A and B are shown apart, each in its own frame.
Chain A
Amino acid sequence: NAGVTQTPKFRILKIGQSMTLQCTQDMNHNYMYWYRQDPGMGLKLIYYSVGAGITDKGEVPNGYNVSRSTTEDFPLRLELAAPSQTSVYFCASSEPGWDGAKNIQYFGAGTRLSVL
């Protein structure tokens, strides 16, 4: 069982370039999330999705876009890369409990992005 798979694992971008970080999960989870983690810091939510066709902003959405055309895939798009977007990006998926409280998120291994 693969769980949550992220590609690529590493990437170096030049300022102004664009790229898409891929995320796919095989657990049939409805909820998916994108986080960024800066050195020595916690996880900040960029975007999330509660199901195919539905996305919403998190805490730090500026400079990013997402789409959710299928249950399995949740790509994150950087249109004009900036040095401030140098970070480690994690994708996660979950299937919250009936009341939405219990929410065990399963994470991918991350994409390490440097913008120079």
Chain B
Amino acid sequence: GESVGLHLPTLSVQEGDNSIINCAYSNSASDYFIWYKQESGKGPQFIIDIRSNMDKRQGQRVTVLLNKTVKHLSLQIAATQPGDSAVYFCAENISGANSKLTFGKGITLSVRP
């Protein structure tokens, strides 16, 4: 698999390989993080989330890793499939009354058959 920061717009992977999408967040007070997938022409769709008291959380074929020391979040997709082709966004939140997400710029994942 390949890893790339969100400052690079596109990640291209071979079908069947693992994908790693990285995100650097800026606010050390953020205590909740979430990944969204956005397919062409559609709204963002929730993939997986993680609270700051955890380092890792697994879903179906996806894993989110959180490194609070360096303020880094990653999304790992196992056995990438053509249906995984989309733009992926990370977002962060701080607990409080007016709960809002701050979104990163997004990265395009392109799966080669």
Contacts and interface: CB of A to CB of B under 8 A. Distances in A.
Contact of B103 (A40, A42, A109): A42
Contacts of A108: 43
Interface residues of B, number: 26
A105 B93 CA distance: 12
Interface string B23-53: 0000000011010000001111110010100
Contact of B95 (A41, A48, A56, A101): A101
B83 interface: no
A48 B89 contact: no
A104 B96 CA distance: 15
Nearest to A48: B100
Contacts of B45: 107
A100 B96 contact: yes
Interface residues of A, number: 29
Contact of A99 (B44, B46, B95): B95
Contact of A40 (B9, B89, B93, B100): B9
B51 A50 contact: no
Given A41-B105, A43-B103, A101-B31, A50 B97 contact: yes
B89 A31 contact: no
17 contacts: A31-B99, A33-B100, A42-B104, A43-B89, A48-B98, A90-B43, A92-B43, A96-B99, A99-B95, A100-B93, A100-B97, A100-B99, A101-B99, A103-B101, A106-B46, A107-B44, A108-B43
Given A45-B100, A100-B96, A101-B31, 17 more contacts: A33-B100, A41-B105, A42-B89, A42-B105, A42-B106, A43-B44, A48-B100, A50-B98, A90-B43, A100-B93, A100-B97, A100-B98, A101-B93, A101-B95, A103-B100, A105-B44, A109-B41
Interface of A: 4, 31, 33, 35, 40-43, 45, 48, 50, 56, 58, 90, 92, 94, 96, 99-110
Interface of B: 9, 31-32, 34, 41-46, 49, 51, 89, 93-101, 103-106
